[in-house]
Every structure is written in C-alpha cells, then in structure tokens.
Amino acid sequence: MNPLTQYLDPQVIQQVSRLDLRARFIVEGFLAGLHSSPFHGFSVEFSEHRKYVQGDEPRTIDWKVFARSDRLFVRKYEAETHLACHLLVDVSASMGYVGFLGPPLVSRRGALAEKTPWPQPASKLMYAIHLAAALGYLVIKQKDALGLGIIGERLERMLPARSRRAHLVDVLAALSAVTPQGQTGLARGVREALAQIPHRGLIVFLSDLLTDTSSLLEALHHIRFRGHDLIVMHVLDAAETQFPFEGSLRLEDPETGELLLADAAAVRRRYLAALETWRRRLNDQITTARADYVPLDTGVPFDKALIEFLIQRSRRR
C-alpha cells in the first residue's frame, strides 16, 4: 500500500488540512521563531562585510579584502531560512501494546448496559506514526527540511533531512515498513542519531519512554546540550493511563516476556499514583532543560493533540 494512502488517506488529509487552516498563523509563527535562531556556522548565505572588532573569530576575516585594502573586515552570514526537523520514532515491542477499555455505561430501554471491553483502534506505534505523518506534512508544507530516525534496540535507520515534497513519501514509506519488536534502546539510539545530525535544528521524539528513566533523561539532556530544540511526545495507550482493568490480571512485559500476576483493585491506586509521579518527573526534568514535554494517550485524536500543543507552545514563545 502506498504510504501516503495509508497514513495520509483522505480522512487523515482532511484532519491535517483542518489543522493547517486552524493553526496557520500559529504554525508559521512557531516555525518563524525557530528560523530566527542564530545558528552560527550553519549558514551558507553571504550577507555583507563589517569592520573587524576585538573578539571576532580570526576565521571570519576576509583576507582577500585585507590584501587589497590593508584593513580587517569580517564576512557576515545570514541564517538559513530552512529549519531541519528530525522525527525520532520508538519502534520497540512495547509500542505495539493495544489496551482494552470498557465503554461508558449507556441506556438500553431504561436500563444501564454492562461494561464490555473492546480493543483500542490503534497501537501506540500507529498513533505515533500518524502524529509523525501530520508533523512531516506540516514541515514539508512550510518548505522546511524533514528527517527521520527509527529507534529500536539502537538506531535502526536514519533518513537525512530534505525539504523536497517527494521526501515525505520516503519518510512515510520507511515508517510503513516498521513493526514493533525488540527491547528498548532509546538512550543508545538517541546518541547514534545525534551523531548523524550535522546541524542544530528541531528534534521531535515520539515514544512511550518505557525504559530506564535516568539514562533516557541523560540522552534527552544531551540533545539540548548539542543546541537542538526538543519536543518529547510521550505516547501511552489509554488503558495505561486509566487502568480500567478488573479482577485478576496476568500481565506480560512485551519486551522481556516477564509475567506478573496481580489483582486490579489492589494495585489500581498505587499504579495510578506511580504513573503520575513518573510523568511529573519527566515533565520537570524535560522542561528544566528548556524542552517541551507533551503527555498523550491513544484516546486523544492526534490532530487535536497537535493543535493543542502548538497553541500552548506559541503562548510560551
């Protein structure tokens, strides 16, 4: 199946187009704010000469002008207008989890129907892929450069940033070929991806973040240390955030196969408290690094999640 058909089918395109129409001034202002960042050494467009002043780097001196005039001038460059946006997508086995949620009680001839579980329509990975497709669509529409890193146990594939419209097809084709498998190697994958990103730009990280939190946060801080703007989209299944289970549970780790037996009523309160503590720690550590933390679950429509994030981000800039 053509990846554009799968991930940007007419219904999805309509959602993304609506998002683009509703948020055009927000998106353009958001990207323009990044464009204006002075990424020295990244620019290639010559602007003008100015007189050398103490403290200027010697490598910026135009020696040809000095040879002609016996005066020191430095070359000034303008920042490139194109933003390089890299999407880093977690494809480990835990991203394939599909939870079960009981529907709300509904009236049936005056009586309340019992809750019956049904599967969520999409795994966390499919949700992340649709988010990545929407973001990629917006980035390419802005004539910016889009790159992709696929992370499993390590960096499995890297597509360099390109601004061609046809490159979006390449990105979606790469995403369409992935399956959730293997253990999580987020910290290693991030380090390997950074080694292949030559210039500072925007990195959007999409993952359930189910790994050692300390090593993960160290890797995310390294992204900021390298000068990149960072957005962390934390994608969990709706069942993982709401814990709707009842009775005896047989829980299996999708990455290690480890089994755990538990009683839902006995662990629900502690589980939800631990989840809140974990998310709060992630939020505190990531925002302290001047990056964005976006908690999501598969019960939230991705276009709504994206527009709400862009609105909040634009207010902070």
User: Per the CATH hierarchy, to which homologous superfamily does domain 3-36+81-316 belong?
Assistant: von Willebrand factor, type A domain (3.40.50.410)
Query: CA 306, CA 233: separation in Å to the nearest integer?
Result: 10
What is the rounded average pLDDT of the residues 285-289? 94
pLDDT greater than 60 at residue 57: yes
Query: CA 32, CA 43: separation in Å to the nearest integer?
Result: 16
pLDDT greater than 80 at residue 38: no
pLDDT of residue 80: 44
For residue 35, list its beta bridge partners.
none
pLDDT bin (cut points 50, 70, 90) of residue 101 is low
Exposure of 301 in the CB half-sphere (CA atoms within 13 A): 9
Contact 204, 86 (CB under 8 A): yes
pLDDT bin (cut points 50, 70, 90) of residue 77 is low
pLDDT of residue 186: 93
For residue 234, list its beta bridge partners.
207, 295
pLDDT bin (cut points 50, 70, 90) of residue 91 is very high
Domain boundaries, the chain: 3-36+81-316, 45-78
pLDDT greater than 60 at residue 211: yes
Residues 172-193: tens digit of each pLDDT: 888 888 889 888 899 999 999 9
pLDDT of residue 19: 42
Beta pairing class for 145-151 and 155-162: antiparallel
Query: CA 280, CA 38: separation in Å to the nearest integer?
Result: 32
pTM: 0.72
Contact 124, 95 (CB under 8 A): yes
pLDDT bin (cut points 50, 70, 90) of residue 300 is confident
Least confident of 7-16, 21-30, 174-183, 295-304: 21-30
State the average pLDDT for the chain: 77
Contact 298, 236 (CB under 8 A): yes
Tokens, residue 266: 């006995």
Neighbouring residues of 167: CB distance < 8 A, sequence distance ≥ 6 = 140, 146, 159
For residue 150, list its beta bridge partners.
89, 157
pLDDT bin (cut points 50, 70, 90) of residue 267 is very high
pLDDT greater than 90 at residue 252: no
Single-letter code of the amino acid located at 18: R
Query: CA 193, CA 87: separation in Å to the nearest integer?
Result: 10
Length of the chain: 317
pLDDT of residue 118: 34
Q: Which residue has the higher pLDDT, 57 or 132?
A: 132
CA dihedral 147, 140, 38, 43 (to 10 degrees): 80
pLDDT of residue 42: 36
SS3 content of the chain, % helix, strand, coil (to 5): 45, 25, 30
Residues 151-164: tens digit of each pLDDT: 999 999 999 999 88
End-to-end CA distance of the chain: 40
3-state class of 157 per DSSP?
A: strand
pLDDT of residue 195: 94
pLDDT bin (cut points 50, 70, 90) of residue 30 is very low
